[in-house]
Every structure is written in C-alpha cells, then in structure tokens.
Amino acid sequence: MAKKYSLNELLIIAVAREIQDFENVVLGVGLPTTAGALAKAIHAPKANLMMESGIIDIDPLVQPNNIADAMCCRGYSCATDLFSTFTMTYRGFVDVCFLGVAQVDRYGNLNTTAIGDYDCPTLRLPGAGGAADFISYAKRTVLTMRGGEFVNKLDYFTSPGYLDGGQSREKSGRFPKGSGPAKLITRKGIFEFDQTTKELFLSQIHPGITVADIIKDVPWELKVSDTLSETAAPSDNEIDFIRRFAPAESLGKSLMLELATKKFLTEASEKITLP
C-alpha cells in the first residue's frame, strides 16, 4: 500500500523532478535545497548543485539554515564566492534555478518584496536577493508557490518574467534569448507558459485536486491545456527521503511551529507545581 503524503511533500517532489543529470542548479534555502538533495539522491546523482554563496557541487547532509551553512559542504568540489556565482549566471552556465513566489501575474512577473503599499505594507517580504538576476540569466527558471497568490497586478514588481507577454521580454534587449520562467509549481498543480503569448496555463493537476479548485484562485480567465494530465504520485523512496532530510518542510513550517508550541506549553505546564 502506497504511503500517504502531504501537499507540501508533493510540491517538493514535483520540483525535484525538474532537475536532471549534469545540470548546473542554483538552490536557495528551504524548499529548493530539499528538492535538490532529493533529486541527487533519487534520480539525478550527477546534477551539480550550487548554493548562491559559491559552494559548488554539494551533497547536503541536512537542510541548511542559510546559503553558507557548513552542512552544504559535504562532498563539494570547490568553493568560490557570491560574486563568482552571479558571474557564472550572467555568462550562461546556470541551467536551472528555483524561485519562491509571493505574488505572480499571468506573465510570470514576481513580487517577493511587499504585500500592500510599499511604504506601509501589510506584509514585508525578504526582497529580491538574487532572484531578479537568476530569472534574468538562468537558462530555465522554475517558480514555486506554497502560500502565495495569483494577481492581475503585482503590489511590487521585484523580478521580471515575460513582462507584458508576447515578445516583450525579448524585445526589451535586456535578457538572453530563451531565458525566463519555464514552469510554476504550486500545492495544487503545475503551470507552463504559452510559447506565443507567454501567458500561464494549467498543464497538470495534482492527485485529489480539481480544475475548479485551481481556477477559483486565479483572477483572470485561466487557460487549461487540452492535454491536461495528473501529476504522478510520489514514490515511497521520495517521501521517506524528505521526511528524513527536512521534516519541517514535510509537515509545513506552520504546522511544525504549532506542534513545537504545543509541546513547549505541555512540558511547561507539567513543571508547574501549584501551592
């Protein structure tokens, strides 16, 4: 009997499946690192995993806490610096990168800066970091959205997707030909970009999810592929690896925080001695 899995686990596994042998892959902390480690362990042992900090060809022991965490160093081939990592990206040596999304519009433009008014936001986000550089120059960018939203207009334009759609990205003259977002992977399905209009369309739905579940989250008339398919269910090996490597990612950080809080309060209450 196949193991049960969470939507968080399915999201990570779908992301990991985007990594192939011999690809140069830039990873960020969190979901991308877990997906990269999973890919290297299961189906792409010859993928070259790199951290933004300049640690090249890693085989992480556990999920790192930051881009320069020593846990990233197991089996590494060389260590350079942040500047050199971006130089490699600008020169076209990065095959695929992964970027988290807070807001995304129909053409794959991203907001990871602020929700609401920039000067007085509802939520202040981490900002651009290297996202704008990677989506501009990596050969392929895979977007991930765990708790973000689809919007007609971004609250803040952080990183460029296909700008106004069509040929607008290419005509701007600012980006290498062929670069830009390739897919968006969410907890409900997988989206791709139309080759002509560059607009997002739904190409896969995850098991147990309906097209209606996805359409209600999108504020424009979402196009659905004529060959819509269902995401292949995770294997037991994939699930087991995530649960060993990054249990917080497996359960979801909010649930982990809730469980940790309950444990703390329970232990604290047991220590209280009433007079």
Q: Where residue 49 sits, what CATH number does that domain have?
A: 3.40.1080.10
pLDDT band at 151 (very low <50, low <70, confident <90, very high): very high
Token representation of residue 164:
């106004």
Calpha distance 230→265 (Å, rounded): 42
Average pLDDT score over the chain? 90
In a domain, 245, yes or no: yes
**In a domain? residue 228:** yes
Q: Is residue 2 part of a domain?
A: no
pLDDT at residue 16, as a whole number:
97
Identify the band that residue 255 occupies on the pLDDT scale cut at 50, 70 and 90: very low
Q: What average pLDDT does this structure show over 242-262? A: 67
Domain residues for the domain of 11 are 7-271
Quickly state the pLDDT bin for 206 (edges 50, 70, 90): very high
In a domain, 204, yes or no: yes
How far is it, in rounded angstroms, from Cα 215 to Cα 228? 14
The CA-based dihedral angle spanning residues 36, 84, 128, 163, taken in that order and rounded to the nearest 10 degrees: -90
Q: Decide which of 80 and 205 is more confident.
A: 205
CA distance 176 to 197: 18
Q: Which of 9, 52, 199, 238 is catalytic?
A: 52
User: pLDDT tens digit string along 102-121?
Assistant: 999 999 999 999 999 999 99
The answer to whether residue 1 is domain-embedded is no
Residue, of 84 and 3, whose pLDDT is higher: 84
Q: Is residue 25 part of a domain?
A: yes
Least confident of 118-127, 217-226, 260-269: 260-269
Residue 87 within any structural domain of the chain: yes
How many domains does the chain divide into?
1
pLDDT for 155: 97
Q: Encode pLDDT of 191-205 as tens digits.
A: 999 999 999 999 999
Residue 24 lies in a domain: yes
Annotated catalytic residue 52: yes
